[in-house]
């Protein structure tokens, strides 16, 4: 941990997936594509690198993408002439927003920064830049606090020695510090409460195997890694007491978009009577979407599923593929949605 000497006194941890560099002139990211084998950090300054970092999942996880995008707007403001701030940063926001469509936190954070530009129009350029910095840091700090509250609520849903199955990565790498879906587990580890986490590998980009297993091991939680298609087996043997997942966008009726495979997990959970919990900040709730049908699902490159994590081809070269990055869990399958405001049980009415 170190203290940030900048326009305000935000404190960053070296383990934060996204933070400002010393002097606040660039963004340092942990490049998540290389974990757990290599812990590589990269310095990001250009708009193209910002876009690529989100698109390629070097920076990923809904809240983390939002925090990163807010810092991006601030950092680009430093390299933009005073009288071009409005146009250049609005163009940047549109560009970054086109990188990935499903996680609402991206467009939410960009809109927050565009509001700052609107509200400071006519003020000295440096004051406007300071407003962008403070808003980005506020989004970051508020995510840290939100994750802490979510983790506390989540911990009341389980007891010592419970088995909890997770999907994708909703931990510190996807948010700030404690994470959302992993928050209760990481908090349990801090308090010495023993749990039995089961981690879905999460094909095709293996966020579960690469990132969640890595985070839980570092926290001392001794996770058990399974392939996605083993979840029903684990449930049928009575090994898990709850499913904990994060969310990329929650519709007003509670329908939840999350990493592809979340829907199968929810259907399995219903079949075996295992409670299915969704953890997310309120900024992930998109009141403009009445139901999950209105959520745009990102389709990604076929190469992601035709090889094992970009290494070894595992399918005929020209086979037709479908690679949706997310699916929508219908609200009927969700036992409760946990936000920083508390534990929400059905019927969900987030409007
Ligand atoms: O494609 P990714 O890795 O960005 O997908 C991430 C997820 O689906 C997470 O579960 C979700 O963003 C919640 S993160 C707290």
Q: What is the CATH number of the domain that holds 117?
A: 1.20.120.420
- Give 122 Cα–ligand 1 centroid separation in angstroms: 38
Is residue 7's pLDDT more than 70?
A: no
In whole numbers, what is the pLDDT of the chain averaged over residues? 95
Specify whether 124 is located in the same domain as 189.
Answer: no
Instruction: Based on the fold, state whether residues 163 and 110 are members of the same structural domain.
Output: no
Measured CA to CA, the distance from residue 108 to residue 88 in angstroms comes to 19
Write the CATH number for 285: 3.40.50.10470
Asked which of 112, 147, 182 is the last residue of a domain, the reply is 147
- Do 203 and 132 have their domain in common? no
| Structure confidence at residue 57 as a pLDDT band (50, 70, 90) | very high
Domain membership of residue 351 (yes or no) is no
The model's pLDDT over 282-319, given as tens digits with 9 standing for 90+, comes to 999 999 999 999 999 999 999 999 999 988 999 999 99
pLDDT at 194 over 80: yes
Q: How confident is the model at residue 9, as a pLDDT?
A: 63
Same domain flag for 110 and 191: no
Query: Where does a domain end: 117, 147, 177?
Result: 147
How sure is the predictor about 8, in pLDDT bands with cuts at 50, 70 and 90?
low
Rounded average pLDDT over 270-278: 98
pLDDT band at 187 (very low <50, low <70, confident <90, very high): very high
Long-range (24+ apart) CB contacts under 8 A made by 110-118 are 110/69, 110/70, 110/73, 112/70, 112/139, 113/69, 113/70, 113/73, 113/74, 113/89, 114/89, 114/90, 117/85, 117/86, 117/89, 117/90
Structural domain contains residue 349? no
Same domain, 261 and 311: yes
Atom of ligand 1 nearest to the CA of 171: 15
Question: Do 116 and 217 belong together in one domain?
Answer: no
- The answer to whether the CB of 248 is under 6 A from ligand 1 is yes
In a domain, 259, yes or no: yes
Residue 141 sits in the same domain as residue 161 = no
Q: Is the pLDDT of residue 106 over 50?
A: yes
Q: Quote the ligand 1 centre to 342 CA distance (angstroms).
A: 21
Residues 196 and 237 in one domain: yes
Residue 1 has pLDDT above 50, yes or no: no
**Which positions are catalytic?**
248
- Region 184-204: what's the mean pLDDT? 97
Our CA angle for 290, 294, 297, nearest 5°, is 140
pLDDT of residue 198: 98
CA separation for the pair 99, 320 (Å, rounded): 24
**pLDDT score for 14:** 82
- Is the CB of 103 inside a 6 Å radius of any atom of ligand 1? yes
Same domain for 164 and 279: yes
Smallest CA-to-CA distance from 245 within 225, 228, 259 is with: 259
Of 102, 128, 147, which residue is a domain's last?
A: 147
Total tally of structural domains belonging to the chain:
2
* Per-residue confidence band for 2, with pLDDT thresholds at 50, 70 and 90: very low
C-beta 247 within 6 A of ligand 1? yes
| Residues 237 and 306 reside in one and the same domain | yes
- pLDDT tens, residue by residue, 221-258: 999 999 999 999 999 999 999 999 999 999 999 999 99
CA of 168 to the centre of ligand 1 (A): 6
Domain that residue 28 falls in: 4-147
Task: Examine the domain organization and report whether 236 and 172 are in the same domain.
Answer: yes
- The string of pLDDT tens digits covering residues 13-53 is 888 999 999 999 999 999 999 999 999 999 999 999 999 99
| CA 126 to ligand 1 center in whole angstroms | 35
335-344 burial string, b = 16+ CB within 10 Å, else e?
bbbbbbeebb
Same domain? For 53 and 202 the reply is: no
In a domain, 350, yes or no: no
Pocket test for ligand 1, best of 174, 257, 329 (most atoms within 8 A of CB): 174
Whether residue 118 has pLDDT greater than 60:
yes
- Whether 5 shows a pLDDT value over 80: the answer reads no
Q: Exposed, middle or buried by CB within 10 Å (0-12, 13-18, 19+), for 3?
A: exposed
Counting from 1 in the atom list of ligand 1, the atom nearest the Cα of 298 is 1
Q: What is the pLDDT of residue 12?
A: 85
104 burial level (CB within 10 Å; 0-12, 13-18, 19+): buried
């Amino acid at each position: 941990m170190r203290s940030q000497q900048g326009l305000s006194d935000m404190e960053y941890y070296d383990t934060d997936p996204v933070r400002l560099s010393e002097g606040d002139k660039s963004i340092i990211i942990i490049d998540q594509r290389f974990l757990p084998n290599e812990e590589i950090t990269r310095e990001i300054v250009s708009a193209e690198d910002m876009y690529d970092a989100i698109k390629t999942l070097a920076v990923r996880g809904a809240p983390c993408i939002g925090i990163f995008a807010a810092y991006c707007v601030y950092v680009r403001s430093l390299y933009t002439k005073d009288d071009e701030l409005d146009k250049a940063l609005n163009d940047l926001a549109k560009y970054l927003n086109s990188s990935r469509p499903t996680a609402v936190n991206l467009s939410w954070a960009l809109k927050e920064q565009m509001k700052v530009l609107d509200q400071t129009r006519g003020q000295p350029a440096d004051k406007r830049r300071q407003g962008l910095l403070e808003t980005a840091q506020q989004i970051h700090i508020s995510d840290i606090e939100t994750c802490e509250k979510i983790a506390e609520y989540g911990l009341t849903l389980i007891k010592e020695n419970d088995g909890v199955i997770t999907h994708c990565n909703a931990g510190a790498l996807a948010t700030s510090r404690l994470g959302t879906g992993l928050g209760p587990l990481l908090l349990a580890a801090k308090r010495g409460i023993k749990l039995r986490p089961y981690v879905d590998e999460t094909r095709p980009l293996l966020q579960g195997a690469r990132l969640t297993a890595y985070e839980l091991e570092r926290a001392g939680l001794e996770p058990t890694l399974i392939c996605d298609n083993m979840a029903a087996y684990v449930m049928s043997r009575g090994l898990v007491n709850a499913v904990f997942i994060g969310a990329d966008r929650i519709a007003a009726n509670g329908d939840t978009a999350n990493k592809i495979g979340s829907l199968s997990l929810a259907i399995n959970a219903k079949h075996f009577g295992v409670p299915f919990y969704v953890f997310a900040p309120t900024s992930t709730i998109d009141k403009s979407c009445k139901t999950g049908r209105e959520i745009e699902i990102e389709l990604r490159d076929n190469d992601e599923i035709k090889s094992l994590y970009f290494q070894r081809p595992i399918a005929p070269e020209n086979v037709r593929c479908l690679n949706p990055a997310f699916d929508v869990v219908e609200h009927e399958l969700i036992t409760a949605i946990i936000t920083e405001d508390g534990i929400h049980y059905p019927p969900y009415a987030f409007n």
